[in-house]
Amino acid sequence: MSEEQEHVKCLIIGSGPAGYTAAIYAARADLKPVLYTGMLAGGQLTQTTDVDNFPGYPKGIMGPEMMEDFRIQAERFGTDIRFGYVSSVDFSSMPHKVVVDESKTILADTVIISTGASAKWLGLDSEHKYNGFGVSACAVCDGFFFRGQDVAIVGAGDTAAEEATYLAKLCRKVYMLVRRDEFRASKAMVHRVQHTPNIEIVYNTETKEIVGNGQNVTGVRVWNNQTNEEKVLDVTGFFVAIGHTPNTGIFKGQINMDETGYIITHPDSTQTNIEGVFACGDAQDHIFRQAITAAGTGCMAALEAERYLAGKEHVITVE
């Protein structure tokens, strides 16, 4: 542990809609929150272009601009926002010990974890090049922009199947690219996909390259791993649905998580199994993964942290 220490009432780990919303509520409750942004200040939305489905922005807004609005609002109420990353934690005693940038120890009465999750990508250069310009990891977020167009989605699990059927309601045709000769999804989801007329399932197929004109996606080059045949599908949108990885590695062994690393919270709560530690946003939500739901749980975490501290301040000892 570092010799440099600081004691705070409320420490928020991670930014994005969950972290910034928690900061707004915590600051207004006079918890004087300190927020460390992580290495990607603003979270996943800073890598998103148009956001059209967040209430309060009737004309839509760019993801980075929206996160800047969140940051400004959090600072307006007194949140101490710092750029830095949490390198280790020790939740075995109170106050909780959190080491930042491997150099400073924060002693926190309450900790709100809002570290989010990262989409898994195929790792193609062209995928990175057209990310936000036809390539997306969220059909619910971006499907609207491809209304009446042909798109492709890669994945074989429940999420991929669900997003494919969602896209089918908006798009003219959906190519579903499945790497093997079978799905990993549940039978119910497979049945739904197979009985959606405008979804074409392409088995034994892998993505070789996202094709574009330098500005937008115009197609996807695919390869059949059984016949070695290559072809280009004419699509204007390419969706990746191969899963997400929660950014919770530093908490392993200290907080209860599911088998994939999502933090488990109490029912109808953001409280973890550790007293005074709360989790919100995509770090604990593997189902919805939307900015609006992340913000909602950020609000919950701050309110619960406030109530927790209030309870500690007003403990009545009975003789």
Q: What averages of pLDDT result for each successive group of 10 residues across the chain (319 residues)?
A: 82 96 98 94 80 91 94 97 95 96 95 95 95 93 95 95 96 97 92 96 97 97 97 98 94 96 97 98 93 97 97 62
Peptide bond into 64 cis (omega under 30): no
CA 27 to chain centre: 23
Answer for the pair 13, 282: CB distance below 8 angstroms, yes or no. no
What distance in Å separates the CA atoms of residue 37 and residue 25, rounded to the nearest whole number?
17
Catalytic residue from among 10, 109, 142, 171: 142
Active-site residue, 171 included: no
**Which residue carries 């942004």 as its tokens?**
37
**Which residue carries 């390259």 as its tokens?**
209
Instruction: Encode pLDDT of 282-296 as tens digits.
Output: 999 999 989 999 999
Catalytic residue from among 141, 150, 171, 280: 141
Catalytic residue from among 138, 150, 280, 282: 138
Answer for the pair 262, 116: CB distance below 8 angstroms, yes or no. no
Instruction: Encode pLDDT of 27-72 as tens digits.
Output: 999 999 999 999 888 888 887 778 888 999 999 999 899 999 999 9
Active-site residue, 141 included: yes
Active-site residue, 299 included: no
